[in-house]
Amino acid sequence: MTTRERLIAVFAGRRPDRLPNVEFGYWEETLGLWHETGLPRRIQTDAALEEYLNLEGLTIFSEVPVKNGLYPQFERKVLEDDGVRRIIRDEEGNICEIRPGHSTMPRYIRFGLRTREDWERLKRERLDVDADGRIGDCVAFAASARQRGSPLFFHAGSLFGWLRNWMGLEGLCLALMTERSWVEEMMDHLTHMTLSLIERALPGLQVDLAWWWEDMCYNRGSLISPRLFGEMLVPRYRQITGALRQHAIGVNVLDCDGRIHDLVPGWLDAGINCMFPLEVAHTDAFRLREEFGDRILLLGGVDKLALIAGKESIDREIERLVPLVAKGRYIPCLDHRVPADVTLENYLYYLRRKEMLLTV
């Protein structure tokens, strides 16, 4: 079976020849350290490592060539560099401080979207759904993906997550409380953009799933109240998933870190049905399966911290997940990128032990 065939079978509740051997990815400094302990130096990217290790990682998934969100993005520009830290303007128009060579969160100095005037300019210059170049040769790309056996996905975008990135969490939360109509106006524009791209790009294509990015939870719960979530986001999600169903797309993968339990009912009601990456420290995948049964699809849920602790910890983590795999509609992989604390030896041991899960 191809990766695509395995993925479709698992999410449909059927048994493939084995589960897809998917992994999330690797922090930049992780590969650098692994080069010192045996990884060939020619391996510089996630895709190269996954090919080297014979994985079916997320890099093998093929994204329909449609530019959702900011287009064009801002040009990344270094404003200051003293050798230890850099002040940059990032691809989303924010001014922030970073430490080169480290995959830590930047320190934001000023966000690009602060006023209605900023929004009108952003909408005009970078959120124009009719901008030339937003849609590539989708037919040829889809045919190539199918020939390779690669799952094909449409990027359905984000409503809360993008606005949080552009405004900052504090800025967005203040706007929700003081200028809710403006926030709804922005969400409406993003919804309209995604709906328009669906109708222009997807007719005639056989797309396997939609992928959403909505980092809107932290270690204790949602960054927005479930009430506001239900009022503002769920109806707009429902519009988009309804349009996707018109093109036979019924699997919607939601990428959200943190503790997601409070928002899962709303996502499911809106048609977003696959949760990823299921960070073990905050989200209980067994509880989700118990509460929502076959309505929910699961991707992720392997505790990355177990790989730091060593081989015995890895063994316990693999054994812990056997019952969840056996219930079906679940693909195990690490619950985030592989941190630099994980040795290459431990990671390779994990991959060998994980082979048992793939055939449960």
Question: Taking 80 as the threshold, does the pLDDT of residue 66 lie above it?
Answer: yes
Q: Tokens 């924010």 map to which residue?
A: 94
Any domain includes 165:
yes
Q: Determine, yes or no, domain membership for 164.
A: yes
190 within a domain of the structure (yes/no): yes
pTM, rounded to two decimals: 0.96
pLDDT of residue 338: 97
Whether residue 9 has pLDDT greater than 80: yes
List residues bridging with 7 in a β-sheet.
none
pLDDT band of residue 192 (cuts 50, 70, 90) is very high
Q: What is the pLDDT of residue 40?
A: 97
For 300-315, what is the HEC assignment?
Answer: EEECHHHHHHCHHHHH
Residue-range definition of the domain harbouring residue 139 = 3-72+111-358
Number of domains in the chain: 1
Confidence class of residue 59 from pLDDT cuts 50, 70 and 90?
A: confident
Is pLDDT at 105 greater than 90 in this prediction? Answer: no
Average of per-residue pLDDT across 51-64: 91
Q: Flag whether 104 is in a domain.
A: no
26: amino acid identity, one letter: Y
Measure Cα distances from 30 to 44, 333, 341 in Å.
10, 17, 8
pLDDT digits (tens, 9 = 90+) for 283-298: 999 999 999 999 999 9
For residue 58, pLDDT over 90 is answered with no
Instruction: Measure the CA–CA gap between 259 and 215, rounded to whole angstroms.
Output: 10
> With contact defined as beta carbons under 8 Å apart, do 34 and 345 qualify?
no
Residue 92 within a domain? no
Helices of type H across the chain: 3-11, 28-35, 46-52, 116-126, 138-148, 160-167, 169-178, 180-201, 226-228, 234-245, 264-269, 285-292, 304-309, 311-327, 344-358
Q: Is residue 144 part of a domain?
A: yes
What span, in angstroms and rounded, lies between the C-alpha atoms of 58 and 154? 14
Q: What percent of the chain has pLDDT over 70?
A: 100
Averaged pLDDT, 121-147: 97
Q: Is 58 a member of any domain?
A: yes
Which tokens is 43 given?
């391996």
Q: Cis omega before residue 339 (within 30°)?
A: no
Average pLDDT along the chain: 96
Q: What is the pLDDT of residues 13-35, one digit of tens each?
A: 999 999 999 999 999 899 999 99
Q: What is the CATH number of the domain that holds 42?
A: 3.20.20.210
Whether residue 14 is contained in a domain is answered as: yes
Tell me the residue length of the chain: 360
- What whole-number distance in Å separates Cα of residue 297 and Cα of residue 277? 11
pLDDT at residue 103 tops 80: no
With bands split at pLDDT 50, 70 and 90, how would you rate the model's confidence at 102? confident
Using DSSP, state whether 62 is helix, strand or coil: strand
